Amino acid sequence: MQVPGTDLTVGGYVTGEYSQHGAPLFSISNASLLLWWENDSPLKFFSEIDLQRGLTAQGSYDAQEPQYLSLERLYADYALSADVTLRGGKFLTPIGRWNQVHADPLVWTTSRPLVTEIAFPTSATGVMALGTVSLLGKDVDYNFYAAEDGDLRPAPNVDPFRNALGVRANVTVSDSLQIGASLASFEQRSEQHEVKNLLGADFLWQRDGFEATGELIYRLSESTSEGNERGFFLQGVAPLAPKLFAVYRFELFNSVGPIPGSQNAFLAYALGLPGGAQPPLPPLPPPPPTVRLNIVGLTYRYQPNIVMKIEFVDGSNGAIRAPIGVLSSISLLF
């Protein structure tokens, strides 16, 4: 909605969520306000603030996700040429597809795939060059970005970048298929000097109301203390009626993997080396927590901007934040 007499536009979305994993919980999980300014110059300003868990009927998981006013995005764009736009400020990290359009009314499920938010900070503060070019007759959307420490008002559950360099490309292969690839090298604030290299791949296929999408992440740590993290999801959507869709998603996420250094240390202890004295055995390193999730749901798109969802989430490991149970929501994009 354009503010009369100005070049400002205001929009946003709000989501009411009801979940039942343990104690039932109703919450306004997101209330997001978008505000942007654009006129006929090449300059544009954009911001998004998000009140997370604004209203909660029962505070069963408030300790993990407290109410918080988050600055999701705040940036300026300058269109440099037909193919290049420069962006400076806080923006969504261009890794994968879901993270960049994660607003509840735009996605098919209430829950978010683990691989789209655990393996990397979901926002970055820095500079980016982005645009669309034609290569070999195909449109290629690209992002090059660099981030520094100093993330503007990060959400409390996010471990922000200390520094990051990354690139993403998304190729429109045909009218119904897009394929993307993401590369990033970064350090996070909680683990300085722990350089992580991330490789991601994703796709989106859409035709006649059917949709298939998937994302794959492989994250390697250069030092041995952190280990590797990897996972993927595959999601299918099929129309059941003009506004009603069935959704199925499978997720596999392996957080910090086996740690060779720790295993070697454990062997040294077990064999009594060095010195001959037999110290007490240290505990075995925990097995890598692998989470498998199956999500089956229904999504009713009452209007293009009003979406109702219900889904059943079944998982094999609840150690990582992955709500197991029934989730439902109603979202409005305005």
Partner 1 sequence: MRYRAIISGLSLVVAGVAAPMLARAAEPIAVIVPLADAKRSVTLSDLALIFRRKRLLWPDGGKIVPINLPASDPVRRDFSLAVFSEPIEASEAYWNDMYFHGITPPFVASSDEAVIRFIEQSKDGIGYVPYCSVDRRVAVLLVIDSAGHPIAPAALAPLCSH
Q: Which residues bind partner 1 (CB under 8 A)?
A: 9, 11, 34, 36, 38, 40-42, 44, 46, 79, 81-83, 85, 100-101, 103, 105-106, 131-132, 134, 137, 139, 141, 175, 206, 304-305, 333
Quote the least distance from Cβ 50 to partner 1, whole Å.
12
> What is the sign of the dihedral through the CA atoms of 25, 59, 313 and 332?
positive
Give the residue with the Cβ less far from partner 1, 63 or 101: 101
Tell me how far, at minimum, the Cβ of 242 lies from partner 1, in Å: 11
**Minimum distance from residue 246 beta carbon to partner 1 (Å):** 17
Helix (H, G, I), strand (E, B) or coil at 260: helix
Q: What are phi and psi of 170, to 5 degrees?
A: -130, 120
Span between the terminal Cα atoms of the chain, in Å: 8
**What's the closest the beta carbon of residue 79 comes to partner 1, in angstroms?**
5
Q: Which is nearer to partner 1, 77 or 229 (CB)?
A: 77
Amino acid identity of 60? S
Quote the least distance from Cβ 58 to partner 1, whole Å.
Answer: 30
Amino acid letter, residue 222? E
Task: Tell me whether residue 37 or residue 269 sits nearer to partner 1 (CB atom).
Answer: 37
In our burial notation (b when 16+ CB lie closer than 10 A, e otherwise), range 219-257 reads bbbeeeebbbbbbbbbbbbeeeeeeebebbbebbbbbbb
Rg for the chain (alpha carbons), in Å?
Answer: 22
Q: Which of 35, 256 has the CB closer to partner 1? A: 35
Nearer to partner 1, 83 or 314 (CB): 83
